[in-house]
Structure 1
Amino acid sequence: MLAAHARTEAMLTLRNGEQILLTLLIPLVLLIGLSLLKIIDLPAPRVDSVTPRIFALAVMSSAFTGQAIALGFDRRYGVLKRLAATALPRWLLVAGRVVAGLVVVTIQLVVLAATALALGWSPSGLAWAVLLVILGTLTFGALGVLLGGALKAEVVLALANIVWFVLLLAGGIIVAADSMPDGMATIVRLLPSAALTDGLTTALMHGGVPDWSVFATLAVWGAGAAVIASRTTKLV
């Protein structure tokens, strides 16, 4: 039942043109553009600097923005209410979405990694990167459920895209927290977007072990969002 539900959720996501634009095409364009064009100052080789950032963006796009919007509209059209009335237990409904999210993120990263390799990317620290991607997907997924499960679909659509845009530009993804003013950098480092980006950069670019604070930040955001979402998520 879990496999069938997860497969259905993943296929619905992959067949949605807007979702594909957000979760794959935009990260792909940014990966190629930032690697080949000197739009912002980055350490050389540029593709090695850009790839971890785009991986973090892809996780956020799929697990948070895509999840929030999909959940918001599923509630609006009564999908969750109908599923809750079937033989599927509620834990399986949640688990199916989680597994589907991991599948979609995996497909995203495979495509992005293949493109980065074609551009000359030299990865290292893959084991730590995989762990961070799983933790990041769960964290942003919980945040997506928190947003999409409590507000009206139109509000979720607007807020999810605004948050995505803000975190992309000022959340430690495109512009690293280290290059920001001290006060702002301290705040940005506490965001899950910056934590995931910093951790992936350390693992994939430098081949090092990410700092424990990266895992702690993601875990705290994920656990907090999950607890609140369990109390605020509505079926309709």
Structure 2
Amino acid sequence: MSAHPVRAQAVSELKLVLRQGEAALLTIVIPILGLVLFSKVKVLPVPGGISRVNFILNGAITFGIMASGMVSQSITVAFDRSYGVLKRLGMTPLGRSGVIAAKLVAVAGLEIVELVLLLVVGAVLGWHPAGNPIEFVVGWVLATAAFAGVGLVLGGTLRAELVLGLSTLLWLVLLGLGAMVVPLGSLPGPVADIAKVLPAAPAATVLLHGIAVGGSAPLWAWVSLVAWAVVAPVAASRLFRWSA
């Protein structure tokens, strides 16, 4: 598998996503609007010892990773399967592994665009960097792998119409339980325990310590996030179907 076809396909995929109004709205516009709104309007609880902007910025970054890797990716893959696009691409010199690699590179590229825009807006709003940049980058890579893997499992196994509803439902559930808008400490104990084994809360917790509060993230967050970053892509590689 040559790097050039993968790069070309990834650029094509990224341009397509950015041209789609609904995809750009979900992955870029909504996180930025949420960051601006909830940084100024004090309607969400914020953990002690952290500024509102820092907490909301971290939530917006996690939201963007989830929206790009899981929601947008799963819907795109599912409809590409239903229309036979993936099967035809898989028979080109790009190959099946190249198709998947290009989609993952495109997701990472989209998330880099999101991240740069959010950090710029956060800085304007008063974000004060704290934490370990290396820990943040590692967490970002793991979160990207986890949510992209989940997106490929959904989009690569289910009917497009089902993926459209299910990915949106999962997005709403993880948004509520993912320590993005409500701190884990504000959730009831049993609910918080469930949230810790889902991908969103560990991702948000690791990223929060890397970019907003400093110190090392708790062990449970790293263990859970690493597990999702490994299991989800492996499951996608085993379960993925190229045609509907």
- Scaled by the length of structure 2, the TM-score of the pair is 0.92
Q: Indicate yes or no: 2:15 matched with 1:14.
A: no
Equivalent position SS for 1:230: helix
Q: Indicate yes or no: 2:97 matched with 1:85.
A: no
Q: Deviations over 1:119-167 (max 9, x none)?
A: 0001122221111111100110000000011111111011111111111
Within 5 Å, give how 1:1-236 maps onto structure 2.
1-42=5-46, 43=48, 45-124=51-130, 125-236=132-243
Alpha-carbon distance between aligned partners in 2 of 1:101 and 1:165, rounded to the nearest angstrom:
20
Number of paired residues?
236
Q: For structure 2, which runs of at least 5 residues remain unmatched after alignment?
A: none
Alpha-carbon distance between aligned partners in 2 of 1:111 and 1:227, rounded to the nearest angstrom:
31
Q: For structure 1, which runs of at least 5 residues remain unmatched after alignment?
A: none
- Corresponding letter in the other structure for 2:79: F
Alpha-carbon distance between aligned partners in 1 of 2:134 and 2:238, rounded to the nearest angstrom:
34
Alpha-carbon distance between aligned partners in 2 of 1:116 and 1:228, rounded to the nearest angstrom:
35
Alpha-carbon distance between aligned partners in 2 of 1:218 and 1:180, rounded to the nearest angstrom:
20
- Corresponding letter in the other structure for 1:184: V
Of residues 143-152 and 225-234 in structure 1, the stretch that sits farther from structure 2 once superposed is 225-234
Of residues 196-205 and 170-179 in structure 1, the stretch that sits farther from structure 2 once superposed is 170-179
Alpha-carbon distance between aligned partners in 2 of 1:235 and 1:63, rounded to the nearest angstrom:
19
Structure 1 residue 87: Cα displacement: 1.2
Alpha-carbon distance between aligned partners in 2 of 1:47 and 1:222, rounded to the nearest angstrom:
28
Aligned 8 A contact 1:176 1:194 in 2: no
- Scaled by the length of structure 1, the TM-score of the pair is 0.95
Q: Deviations over 1:39-73 (max 9, x none)?
A: 12224531012111111111001011111011011
Structure 1 residue 230: Cα displacement: 2.2
* Greater than 4 Å deviation, 4+ residue runs: none
